[in-house]
Structure 1
């Protein structure tokens, strides 16, 4: 398998994983959050009852790890290619900052309060405040996921444009037509 094929495959997998992550966050935003955060603490209790068999905490950590691992591998594969290097590195950096670090520092403590600590541990006013902070901070994840996917997709487009057979044929034709090239 050629390096070009490996690089293109890595970019496709990175774009796919980044789009799955962004799509999951976007779907969560419009389908789950209006129900979960509608009327804390009652809506948080209903969410706990509903999200028993599985929830975002089961989906996003493995997917996030896949984005990071694929992203880092793709950075290594594309580092020597100036056309791709910063698009891929940017995608990984944005994902790590907005989806991982921001989640660890901002969301995880709020998740503990809303969904892990026993019901009744925190006063209703604190739960309302934490829920409002969570919803407001969620915009960072949403934008970060969109930027990650856009940067990764741009890198893939640049790779495909540079390696497509038609582009190579056109380049050969223009070189043969122009003796100064």
Structure 2
């Protein structure tokens, strides 16, 4: 299989994963978060009871790994093409910063407080504060998902157009080179 085809496939997987991740975060924002954080600490207790069989922590880590691996693969495959490479690098950097690092540093400690620590460990006022911080920080993650998806999709469109131009020109050159 050609490098061009592999690049295209990696970009399809990257766009698919980034958009699923962004869509999942957007869905959480409008469907789950009003129920989870709307009346802390009572709503946090209900969320603990509801998310016994599965929750966001079951969905987002494998999806995040898919986005990260496909972005690294697309970056390596597009290395010779700065016109693609920097779009992919931007998508990867925003995703890692907003979805992974921000989650590890900001969300994970708050998740621990709200959903892992035994009920009654923290005061109601503190749980409300932590829930408000979580919801406020969530907008960073939502914006990061939107930017990641836009950058990944731009890289895909640039690659696809270059492939189409090369095919139309009957070029024997690498279509990835035409994307510059």
1:35 corresponds to which residue? 35
Equivalent in the alignment of 1:109: 109
1:70 CA drift (Å): 1.0
> Residues of 1 paired with 2:2 and 2:117: CA distance?
52
Paired positions, count: 171
Q: Distance in 1 between matches of 2:168 and 2:109?
A: 56
Looking at structure 2, the residues matched to 170 and 68 of structure 1 have their Cα atoms a distance apart, in angstroms, of 34
Which residue matches 1:10? 10
Distance 1:82 1:168 in 2: 20
Q: 1:169 matched to which residue of 2? A: 168
Distance 2:46 2:130 in 1: 16
Mapped partners of 1:57, 1:47: distance in 2:
13
Unaligned segments of structure 2, at least 5 residues:
172-180
Partners of 2:103 and 2:18 in 1: CA distance = 16
Displacement over 3 Å in runs of 4+: none
Task: Sort the Cα spacing of 1:2 and 1:170 in 2 relative to 1 into closer, same or farther, 3 A.
Answer: closer
RMSD between aligned residues: 1.3
Matched, 1:149 2:146: no
Question: Quick check: 1:134 aligned with 2:134?
Answer: yes
Please give the per-residue CA displacement for 1:96-144, whole angstroms capped at 9, x wherever unaligned: 0000000000000000000000100000000000000000000000000
Query: Structure 1: any 5+ residue segments left out of the alignment?
Result: 173-181
| Deviation of the 1:169 alpha carbon | 2.6
If the length of structure 1 is used for normalisation, what is the TM-score? 0.91
What is the distance in 2 between the residues matched to 1:23 and 1:118? 31
For 1:49 and 1:147, locate their aligned partners in 2 and report how far apart those are by CA, in whole Å: 33
Q: Does 1:57 align with 2:48?
A: no
Separation (CA, whole Å) in 1 of partners of 2:36 and 2:168: 55
